[in-house]
Structure 1
């Protein structure tokens, strides 16, 4: 989702191919033998990571200055999100894969690692790095949204009003509506 957010924000049109990972088309495997998504394949360029696609798109076009932030602070958020928080998200979202884990402990760890720090940051500014939206908001938002949707009622009960407002604002954007368009599965 964050790759699609950056591409749409930057105004870069691409041919979107929705992939069913249990039935990977040959064209995906030819472009990227890893067979993971997302993949941006264009004129000999192949990017296989959503953050790389984001940066590529923002280098091409950044109309509202998403990249004009403290990059060290942004990278710190990204590392926390893409590393330990992503692992906790997977444990929380797919409890059957790790039945030995207590879901309350996973939730508590996610709160301490990411949810509370985001809420704390948002108490002082509208977005993670200030009062202007930045690429790190777009990079983190999809993961927080996924986490919230595992148990939306429970998430809404958490004492993080700023985080929940930030999430609602993202969900209500035209940009989010555009990238959430459903596509039929691509078949070679």
Structure 2
């Protein structure tokens, strides 16, 4: 029986979160690493919109949204209970948090990154837009170690790559908010993820598919 094929870009935050959860679900796939400037024809045939990640399942069905890939993997196997299936209403709360990240924070983050890179005058405004979400996460982490409790959930891994990006735009600004107040809980949360061997496994660098035409087994710790 053939395994699903995952087209992935190593540093794309959407791909990172998909790879993290594939590992946590222990869902093996054959990974093909790509770059956006030269996407494989097979991938574009499967998903003409031309964005990653793209998962081509063994029945030829295609999943081309990262969150859908994550949920698909956890429905196959969820040994860490990232979907919080034993907690009534938790799924709805978790998905609302993820949707806020995807629909609001990521939009502001993209503008913040561009403004910072090109030294635009509105960089502070875009950063403050990001901080609204960051501050809410910090407050949530005063109650427990992770966003939904004392163990990681789907929300933590779905949001992680974007917080990682935010922290690198302006390191000093990340460590100190506009009121010179650090985000100790969020910093602790991010450091804990970085120190988990799972993260380095998810960020493993593979030869590009179009250079080597070699795919790699991925998804087993």
| 96, 109, 116: which one aligns with 2:129 | 109
Work out whether 1:22 is the aligned partner of 2:20: no
Please give the TM-score of this superposition, normalised by the length of structure 2.
0.80
Residue correspondence of structure 1 range 170-185 to structure 2 within 5 A: 170-185=193-208
| 183, 186, 190: which one aligns with 1:160 | 183
Classify 1:65/1:177 alpha carbon distance in 2 versus 1 (closer, same or farther; 3 Å).
Answer: same
CA distance in 2, matches of 1:86, 1:101: 20
CA-to-aligned-CA distance 1:55-90 (integer Å, 9 cap, x gap) = 000001111111115011111111110011010111
Match of 1:50 in 2: 66
Question: Higher strand share goes to which structure?
Answer: 2
Match of 1:134 in 2: 153
**Where does the alignment leave 5 or more consecutive residues of structure 2 unmatched?**
1-15, 214-221
**Where does the alignment leave 5 or more consecutive residues of structure 1 unmatched?**
none
Question: Higher helix share goes to which structure?
Answer: 1
CA distance in 1, matches of 2:115, 2:207: 29
Work out whether 1:73 is the aligned partner of 2:93: yes
CA distance in 1, matches of 2:113, 2:209: 26
CA-to-aligned-CA distance 1:161-188 (integer Å, 9 cap, x gap) = 0011001101111111110001122216
Match of 1:95 in 2: 115
Work out whether 1:86 is the aligned partner of 2:102: no
* Mapped contact 1:128–1:136 kept (Cα < 8 A): yes
| Number of residues of Structure 1 aligned to a counterpart in Structure 2 | 187
CA-to-aligned-CA distance 1:19-74 (integer Å, 9 cap, x gap) = 11111111111111111100001221210010000000000111111111501111
CA distance in 2, matches of 1:103, 1:97: 9
CA-to-aligned-CA distance 1:112-146 (integer Å, 9 cap, x gap) = 1x100000000000110111210111101111111
CA distance in 1, matches of 2:137, 2:118: 26
Match of 2:137 in 1: 118
* Mapped contact 2:116–2:123 kept (Cα < 8 A): no
CA distance in 1, matches of 2:30, 2:206: 11
Shift of 1:157: 2.4
